[in-house]
Amino acid sequence: MNKIFSILKEKKSIPLDQFINISLYDKDLGYYIKKNPFGKNGDFITSPLISNLFGEMIAVWCVSYWEHLGKPKNISLIELGPGDGSLCVDLLKTFKQFKAFYKCLKINLLEVSNRLKKIQKNKINNKKVTWIKKINDINSGPIIFIANEFFDALAIKQIYKKKGIFFEKHVCLANNDKKIKFLLKKANVKLIKRIKSLNLISHGKTIEYPVEAIKFLSAISKKINKFNGGLLTFDYGSNVKRNQDTLQSIKKHNYSDIFSTPGQSDLTSHVNFVFFKDTLEKNNLNVQKITTQSKFLKKVGILERANILSKNVTFKEKANIFYRLKRLLDYEEMGGLFKVLFAQKKSKKFTLGF
Ligand SMILES: C[S@@+](CC[C@H](N)C(=O)[O-])C[C@H]1O[C@@H](n2cnc3c(N)ncnc32)[C@H](O)[C@@H]1O
């Protein structure tokens, strides 16, 4: 029997965040632990896999930020959830062009999946790159935290508001233990207090509470406050305050039923960028603006770079460069749906890309 069915049979019901954590990260069943979900033959594709220019622009941004900091002798880059390692490979390729920066650089990767770690190690193969187990392992800076589609892969709780009463979404078995379904349980006082104090409630019935992301934002903020630096994050999400059910399951590049194949499909939710900004500011950081992926990449110079690259190449190669760029930049696609946020130390004001 699938482990998740036996857990549900034993426990009767579990909160949604526990279900997500088991489905994605359980050592025997977890989607990210067992599978390599990336690319054409996987379940989904991310920006670094669409075009190398994505990583190139982030690399240029990092070098500019380092210059803005006064070219410190040591600079740490921490990539959160590096997937198949593609972004790190592209970053390193561009960093090597900036020799003074490259000399000062060390890179740490934070990855929960041993299977993905192995793929990253094979692909990256560079002495500057080492893996850390937790944010607390970092003890020097300044630090640039980079996250692409990291926060949307972390477990959330959902609280449903009906006639003024709050219910927490749980997951349980149905149909003679053959199926999984949602179960609404009255939310406990502590949870209601917590979502109220976090200022998570606005219009709409489903309140999403990013339990895991909050822990990361707190640990990251502490390190930035201590060592200087910032967090640059890209994610599918909204920059308008709203309460909406955004949980979805993706399999073979299509939406799938959340419960039909636990452990076999990706589960993600949109990042609430307004809440992230609020939280980071409460943690004493400065977030000047939330922008779109399209605006960010254009401001860093992606179109100019694409034009340079497409000189002296065949028509087919040029078409390929711009086809990929369109996927990254189109407003109806990743360009508009993905938002970008940069949180830095309160006294600092680096604005490239925003
Ligand atoms: C949606 S993937 C994004 C991968 C990559 N950043 C990209 O853009 O292609 C999420 C990544 O975060 C990792 N991850 C999820 N939770 C994590 C955690 N708590 N600690 C470290 N890595 C985690 C996953 O294993 C995976 O590598």
Per-residue pLDDT reduced to its tens digit, 157-179: 999 999 989 999 999 999 888 89
The response to whether residue 293 sits with its C-beta less than 6 Å from ligand 1 reads no
The response to whether residue 116 sits with its C-beta less than 6 Å from ligand 1 reads yes
Task: Answer yes or no: are the C-beta atoms of 287 and 343 closer than 8 Å.
Answer: yes
The per-residue pLDDT of the chain, averaged, comes to: 95
Q: State mean pLDDT over 76-99.
A: 98
The response to whether residue 267 sits with its C-beta less than 6 Å from ligand 1 reads no
Position 202 scores a pLDDT of 85
Residue 60 β-bridge partners: none
Contacts with 275 (C-beta within 8 Å, 6 or more apart), sequence order: 198, 199, 200, 210, 241
> Rounded to the nearest whole angstrom, what is the distance from the C-alpha of residue 343 to the centroid of ligand 1?
20
Position 252 scores a pLDDT of 87
> Rounded to the nearest whole angstrom, what is the distance from the C-alpha of residue 149 to the centroid of ligand 1?
7
Task: Please give the structure tokens belonging to residue 21.
Answer: 């954590």
DSSP of 262-306: TTTSEEE--EEHHHHHHHHHHTTEEEEEEEEHHHHHHHHTHHHHH
Residue that the structure tokens 């497409």 belong to: 310
The response to whether residue 149 sits with its C-beta less than 6 Å from ligand 1 reads yes
* Domain 11-158+210-345 grouped into CATH 3.40.50.12710: yes
> Rounded to the nearest whole angstrom, what is the distance from the C-alpha of residue 297 to the centroid of ligand 1?
22
Q: How confident is the model at residue 276 (pLDDT cuts 50, 70, 90)?
A: very high
The response to whether residue 150 sits with its C-beta less than 6 Å from ligand 1 reads yes
Q: What percent of the chain has pLDDT over 70?
A: 100
The response to whether residue 46 sits with its C-beta less than 6 Å from ligand 1 reads yes
Contacts with 348 (C-beta within 8 Å, 6 or more apart), sequence order: 228, 230, 286
Q: Whose CA is nearest to atom 14 of ligand 1?
A: 81
Amino acid at 239: N
Task: Convert 316-338 into a string of H (helix), E (strand) and C (coil).
Answer: HHHHHHHHHHHHHHCCCCHHHHE
Q: State mean pLDDT over 253-278.
A: 92
Rounded distance, CA 193 to CA 197, Å?
Answer: 6
Q: How confident is the model at residue 253 (pLDDT cuts 50, 70, 90)?
A: confident
List the 266-268 sheet strands across, edge first.
254-256, 248-251, 266-268
Residue that the structure tokens 């104090």 belong to: 197
* Tens of pLDDT, residues 21-60: 999 999 999 999 988 889 888 888 999 999 999 999 999 9
Q: Whose CA is nearest to atom 4 of ligand 1?
A: 83
Residue 105 β-bridge partners: 75
Altogether, the residues listed in the chain come to a count of: 354
Closest CA to 292 of 278, 302, 305, 284: 302
- H or E segment at 197? helix 189-197
Residue that the structure tokens 């946020």 belong to: 341
* Cα–Cα distance list, 204 to 162, 168, 194 (Å): 10, 15, 18
Position 259 scores a pLDDT of 92
More confident residue, 207 or 262: 207
* Cα–Cα distance list, 332 to 151, 194, 283, 338 (Å): 21, 35, 33, 10
The response to whether residue 275 sits with its C-beta less than 6 Å from ligand 1 reads no
Can you tell me which atom of ligand 1 is nearest the CA of 234?
8
Position 1 scores a pLDDT of 55
The response to whether residue 155 sits with its C-beta less than 6 Å from ligand 1 reads no
The response to whether residue 56 sits with its C-beta less than 6 Å from ligand 1 reads no
The response to whether residue 113 sits with its C-beta less than 6 Å from ligand 1 reads yes
pTM greater than 0.85: yes
* Tens of pLDDT, residues 111-135: 999 999 999 999 999 999 999 999 9
Closest CA to 206 of 226, 179, 187, 188: 187
Indicate the burial class of 61 (C-beta count within 10 angstroms; 0-12, 13-18, 19 or more). buried
